[in-house]
Amino acid sequence: MQVLDSTQYIEKLEKHYTKYFGQAGKKMQMDRGPVEKLHRGFYVLEVPPNKRHGAFMYCTVGMSADRLDDNLIELFVFSPKPDGKVVELLTYCASYHRSGLPLNIHHTVNIGQPWLDDSVCDHAFISLPYLDQDIELFQLDGHEIHCYWLIPITKDERDYKMEHGCEALEVLFEEKGLDYMNPGRKCLVGGE
């Protein structure tokens, strides 16, 4: 596979997000943690509430810059408030994507801590962007880069997905009305 121009990749991806949300975001970077594993141009874009959503959106920019395989993905997550923990979450996902087994659609990750506040959601699920289908595909030099939705979930929801499959987890979300932006939401599996 041909290596994409990483400078062009990052610039055009940010333009893709800006066009979709109708406004520019703020570039956020961590100065600690696994930053040495990231592409030198990587950052997280914090997009404030806008015409599409009354929530903050955090989007990776450069998570898959200069990858040589077919795992060309970027992630975004909703947040009810601006919070550096979301930047940290996406930075760790990007670092894992670049150094471990690459992430992709329907994968789950162990966050290792609450995604916000003292949430029971300490894992995350990579999903199609059902609420934002027009953001999913970003084209560059004949390559498709997928922008997927990172949904904070509980360990029990992750275990449910492992036992029953990703479609069953998504059906559970729909049937029980997943409150994906609420850090205080209860687990949808069992009585927790």
Residue 13 has pLDDT above 90, yes or no: yes
Three-state SS at 127: strand
**163 contacts 169 by C-beta, under 8 angstroms:** no
Residue 1 has pLDDT above 70, yes or no: no
Domain residue spans of the chain: 6-154
**65 contacts 42 by C-beta, under 8 angstroms:** yes
What's the pLDDT score for residue 3?
61
The number of residues in the chain equals 192
What's the pLDDT score for residue 31?
82
Residue 191 has pLDDT above 80, yes or no: no
Q: Which of 91, 76, 116 is nearest to 33 (CA)?
A: 91
- One DSSP character per residue, 55-124 reads SEEEEEESTTTT--SS--EEEEEEESS--HHHHHHHHHHHHHHHHSSPP-TT-EEE-SS-SSTT-S--EE
Residue 192 has pLDDT above 50, yes or no: no
118 — pLDDT class (breaks 50, 70, 90): very high
Residue 71 has pLDDT above 70, yes or no: yes
Q: What is the pLDDT of residues 20-34, one digit of tens each?
A: 999 999 999 998 877
What are the phi and psi torsion angles at 34 (to 5°)?
Answer: -85, 40
Q: What is the pLDDT of residues 160-174, one digit of tens each?
A: 999 999 999 999 999
What's the pLDDT score for residue 50?
92
d(CA 96, CA 37): 8
What's the whole-model pTM score?
Answer: 0.94
